[in-house]
A and B are shown apart, each in its own frame.
Chain A
């Protein structure tokens, strides 16, 4: 058999068993008047998109984008949950061409859809359960996540939250260390200032002590100086008197007289 033959045979078989092709029916139904099926299809496609987004968010490195994506997912979830009751009503409506079993099946489908929507990981379910623990400290939250191990989504969060607590832990530690160092430095400064203050006080008192002494010295020195001055003046007077010209002339005259007398005597005796 050639390839062409195979293809034609496959085509023929498909056509024969078309009525068993659910997807094709679905597509056909989408374009049909079955509102339920239409809505169902829309919801399912949105769920798939949300799942994809959540996976992207889980692998996202930047926390801001992860948070934004999670918020987006949450919004989609909320919207879908709102549309569920509509779907339920549609499901109960009787549509021509549908058996009763299919009708019940549609109900089950709707319920399962609800579970699927809520199961989409959006980074908030774990947080809601831990809101009490978060305020206690990041370390507590990591232990909380450790306890919840039933749903897979929680496991995805564990690693996320752990990262958070590690980072903030380190930050807090650094902050504490810096604060301690500052405190130590300030203590040293305070002690130095205490010593300075004490020394300054002592110096103050010492100077106060010496002030009256200086005053006394000042007084005594002043008195001594004035005494000296008066003594000097008197001395000058006395010396002047001694050296006055009158006395000097008298001295010279007397000297001449004595010399004269001596000469006369010499002459007489010779």
Chain B
């Protein structure tokens, strides 16, 4: 059966599901099996369009069979194929649907994973939508109480913002990262997040904001006694004095070199 033409399988499955005079209820079980086989066949044949279609139908079938997990899995495969086809709207749709299905299974983690995958796929093409997806993913994780996983997502979102040169948004995201880190007692990540936020503000030539940010962060004990705090204060004092050499020297220091790559690039370009 699996060796036969996938299109034949699809037409067969379609016939099974279409309601007509002879058929009073669609036979989703066999139809789904056929759809899955057809989809795999198309994928092997690199017929992405048809494969995507087949996966969609398979997922629908699984939904009808009330197994959201399998449905979600098929949706994800369909989305991956849509990515190959660069059909971005469909990519967003599919990934969102997949994540919803995962939530139906009470599995928030795969849900956020699905959204993250979608965001990563969209980073170059539709950065705004990517950011939306990242935010939604982070929200899902935070609701579940698993902020630790959200760190990577926050960092990815910040890098997208920086690419878009939306520095205030980037800094805001970093502060959210700091908040999440605080909840999990991840002191090092928290301090790094705050230092990165200050650097982003400085890069945007917003000295007042940077100082305000620094003051806010100094309220937090964990940040106050850390290496990153000292580095930040050195940076700010160098800025207020207008000492370019000092700024460059601080940017070369090890505290900054441990941050994210994107942030390091900003720091090196500082004055």
Q: Enumerate chain A interface residues (CB-CB to B < 8 A).
A: 191, 194-195, 198, 201-202, 204-205, 208-209, 212
Contacts and interface: CB of A to CB of B under 8 A. Distances in A.
Contacts of B255: 194
Contacts of A198: 188, 254, 258
Contact of A209 (B149, B187, B227, B258): B149
Given A208-B148, A209-B148, A202 B254 contact: no
A212 B184 CA distance: 12
B146 interface: yes
B258 A212 contact: no
Interface SS of chain B: helix, strand, loop or mixed? helix
A205 B188 contact: yes
Given A194-B254, A194-B255, A202 B188 contact: yes
B26 to A, nearest CB: 33
Interface of B: 146, 148-149, 184-189, 227, 254-255, 258
Nearest to B187: A201
A213 to B, nearest CB: 9
A195 B254 contact: yes
A201 B188 contact: yes
A208 B255 CA distance: 22
A191 B184 contact: no
A208 B188 contact: no
Given A194-B254, A198-B258, A208 B186 contact: yes
Nearest to A202: B188
A196 to B, nearest CB: 10
A124 to B, nearest CB: 51
Contacts of A208: 148, 184-186
B138 to A, nearest CB: 15
Contact of B188 (A191, A195, A204, A209): A204
A12 B99 CA distance: 144
Contacts of B254: 191, 194-195, 198
Contact of A212 (B146, B185, B187, B188): B146
20 contacts: A191-B254, A194-B227, A194-B254, A194-B255, A194-B258, A195-B254, A195-B258, A198-B188, A198-B254, A198-B258, A201-B187, A201-B188, A202-B188, A205-B186, A205-B188, A205-B189, A208-B148, A209-B148, A209-B184, A212-B146
A232 B214 CA distance: 63
A212 B147 CA distance: 12
A174 to B, nearest CB: 29
Contacts of A202: 188
A195 B253 CA distance: 11
Contacts of A204: 188
Contacts of A212: 146
Nearest to B186: A205
B167 to A, nearest CB: 25
A198 B148 CA distance: 18
A194 B226 CA distance: 13
B141 to A, nearest CB: 12
Contacts of B187: 201
